[in-house]
Amino acid sequence: MDIAVEELAAGITKVVLRGRFDTTGAVLVELPFNKIITEKSRIMVDLSAVSFLASYAIRVLLVGAKIIDGRGGKLVILCPDNNVAKVLRTAGMDALIPVLQTESAATAVLTS
Amino acid sequence: MTRMSSWEARRLVLRNDLTELQRLAGWIEGWAQRGVSADVSFAIQLCLEEAVANVIMYAGAKDSRLVIAVDVERNGTTLVARIEDNGRHFDPTQVPPPSVATSLEEAKVGDVGIQLIRSFASGMDYERRDGCNRLTLRFTEPQTASQRSG
């Protein structure tokens, strides 16, 4: 599981995750992810290169979104593949965290 | 490709340690890429990960005597996975569905693992036998149009 950060325009931070976001992967990225959450307020989490998503990963994303929301910021999810999107829907995350298919759509939500 | 004519029953025994989930994932990937559809492969990986993680985190916390055995076999177009552990009694089929949150503020963290198993597996049964939890999960390959007509 890899994590990379890109700074975009309008104060948006893109967090690109790659690999299996399973329990082991989520434990690995939890600390660096939480550090970004505490420092930034407009976050786009790119899941396009994530092949697998487990409940512990959902926990990491949800905790991050709740912290950002409590500060008046926003977190959105970008481009999950079909099965990853199904996991998010099953867990009810798509009703809580915006899931967008393009970077421009995600940018629009984050800057609205 | 969903033919599984050379498919055999498989078994893996795991220790009470979250690092064992990596071994579980490697074990599943090793055989699930052969003769199992991508969707069923994903479902098996997800459900076994959630079920075993549940056992390690809740059924036998810090108990070095806990052993988890995972068996998978094929029955026609259905894959049957059994997860057996000697931890304390825990019946996931009796866990109520999580409440549906409508805002991040009220959203509760956790409790989605069993919901994922219910959704991604075709069936789930539990029994307590000889001091062990035994969870049985079934995964059915979707029939193709030619299979339905033939």
Q: Over range B113-125, report the average pLDDT.
A: 97
Nearest to B43 by CA among B137, B121, B133, B123: B121
Residue listed under structure tokens 């070095």: B64
- 3-state SS assignment for residue A104: helix
| CB-CB neighbors (< 8 A) of A90 in chain B | 112, 115-116, 119-120
**Nearest chain A residue to B53, by CA:** A23
pTM for this structure? 0.91
How far apart are alpha carbons B101 and A25 in whole angstroms?
Answer: 26
- Output phi, psi for A74, to 5 deg: -140, 145
**Nearest chain B residue to A1, by CA:** B22
Residue listed under structure tokens 């055999």: B8
Better-predicted residue by pLDDT, B98 or A31: A31
Q: Over range B73-93, report the average pLDDT.
A: 91
CATH 3.30.565.10 is the classification of domain B10-149: yes
In this prediction, residue B8 carries a pLDDT of 66
Structural domain spans, chain B: 10-149
> Which value does ipTM take for this structure?
0.93
Test B107 with A62 for CB contact under 8 angstroms: yes
Q: Over range B96-106, report the average pLDDT.
A: 90
Query: What's the pLDDT tens digit per position in A14-54?
Result: 999 999 999 999 999 999 999 999 999 999 999 999 999 99
Q: What does pLDDT average to over chain B?
A: 87
CA B10 → CA B58, B65, B104, distances in Å?
25, 23, 42
Confidence grade of residue B83 (pLDDT, cut at 50, 70, 90): very high
Catalogue all structural domains in chain A, each as residue range(s) with its CATH number. Answer: 2-111 (3.30.750.24)
How far apart are alpha carbons B120 and A42 in whole angstroms?
Answer: 32
A4 interfacial to chain B (CB closer than 8 Å) = no
